[in-house]
Structure 1
């Protein structure tokens, strides 16, 4: 019975710890804030369903903004997303997010 318990604990999934050596100072500070740190730890665990619930909560807050503030609540979210998407397009165009797409050695082998 003792060996079985030891085998079970060795196979148990590992949840992301509070702070790892590769974390930046900002991440370490965020992990020590009670509610924000709990959310970040859940999102760092790939086996949890936290990603789905996080995006559902974001959608729910967006719907509530439209319900309580009317069309202004919907417009403000759209106004915030415009510069966000412009920065995203610039980062992708510079190749910093996904790397170079054309002109690599793989292109020569592909043709």
Structure 2
């Protein structure tokens, strides 16, 4: 089984990157690849609850993160440093995830067969 890691580095709205990354994750998982997600830098903003993207003319794809368990995407990591930079805590996040250090992210990337950055 191929290990695919998808990194979310950009804010969720204003570009299609977040939606495309999520679509790729779900599609890849449906083909029985081992998919993991990592949220770093402003990509942690994809995790914030109660967003209203329709106010800026964007589609709301954040709720689709709730489908990850149905596709057996169990490894969801967020950079502790990035969460601190944006002042986010677990209560503000849309899903359960593991907060990790940059060193732990580096180790996870070393174990992946493919890494895609969005």
Tell me the TM-score normalized by structure 2: 0.23
Larger-Rg structure: 1
Identify, as 1 or 2, the structure richer in strand. 2
Identify, as 1 or 2, the structure richer in helix. 1
